[in-house]
Amino acid sequence: MAKKAPPKNRIISIVGLTASGKSWLGIQLANLFNGEIISTDSRQVYKRLDIGSAKVTAEEQSMAPHHLLDIVEPMGTMDVFTFQKLAFDKIDEIHARGKTPILVGGTGLYSRSIIENYNFADKANPTQGERKYDFLQIALLPPREWLESTIAKRNQLRYEMGMINETRELLASGVDHKWLRKLGLDYQLTTEYVMGELTRTEFESWHVIRTMQYAKRQRTWFKRERDTIFLTDPDLFNNPQKLLNTAKQLTEEFIK
């Protein structure tokens, strides 16, 4: 099909649970609709935090332009109001190139700050502003059983890719273990394992349990999103082509 970009006030947003296929779907839509991806993940902004943050690989990044990855050194500062400004600038740049901005990530506050145009004049109490963009937001909310199995398999793959060594190297380079622990989940548990606080069995078991707990919190957050299309059918997640076809149809209707 011919690639077509939406008008300059339109964006696409892919949100949802960890390990639900957001990154893959974002790349497919970027290729179909002349898009560029803006990551909305609070840990993927950090350099050298690759495997533990489930950052798209160099090969995946070559499939479609990606933005707001690897922009801060470890132990550097990133917050939602800084991120929002960077994202607005990237959206303007992508629109200026005649292309489609596609937000992709699981940090709900980051994506919501863009969609709802949060005002951070009072950083402790942001308020919702007038929306800047028309948007299509798709939330991937697979069933629990599918997600737990997928998370367990993904964890094993990441161990094979070197996730534990990545944390060892970060610590050896001077990254403070307290900072890694504060990132939560993957880096917290891997740091505890590397520092001898967990056995390998405990580490792997807690990694699945804590990730599922995180996904439960994400599910609660994203279910509260306004004007969002929720994809929950197990058949979609068992058949990626069906998932892509559904998202493609929704996008085509959005950009008519």
Give the model's confidence band at 125: pLDDT under 50 very low, under 70 low, under 90 confident, else very high: confident
Single-letter amino acid code for the residue at 199:
T
Q: Which of 237, 35, 250 is nearest to 138 (CA)?
A: 250
The backbone region for 245, taken as left when phi is positive above 0, alpha when psi lies in -120 to 50, beta otherwise, is alpha
Contact partners, residue 50, CB within 8 Å, separation at least 6: 57, 166
Q: Is residue 10 helix, strand or coil?
A: strand
For residue 203, pLDDT over 90 is answered with yes
Write out the H or E segment, with its range, that includes residue 246: helix 240-254
Q: What is the DSSP string of 197-213?
A: SS-HHHHHHHHHHHHHH
Could you tell me if 15 and 22 are in contact, meaning their C-beta atoms sit under 8 angstroms apart?
A: yes
Q: What is the average per-residue pLDDT within 101-114?
A: 97
Buried b (16+ CB within 10 A) or exposed e, 198-226: beeeebbebbbebbbebbeebbebbeebe
pLDDT number for residue 5: 45
Give the model's confidence band at 2: pLDDT under 50 very low, under 70 low, under 90 confident, else very high: very low
Q: What is the average per-residue pLDDT within 46-51?
A: 98
* Residue corresponding to tokens 């840990």: 43
Rounded to 5°, angle at Cα 55 from 90 and 169: 120
Please name each of the domains of the chain with its CATH number: 10-143+227-254 (3.40.50.300), 146-213 (1.10.287)
Tell me phi and psi for residue 19, to 5 degrees. Answer: 70, 15
For residue 8, pLDDT over 70 is answered with no
- Dist. CA 187–CA 185, nearest whole Å: 6
- Dist. CA 185–CA 122, nearest whole Å: 29
Q: Is residue 78 helix, strand or coil?
A: coil
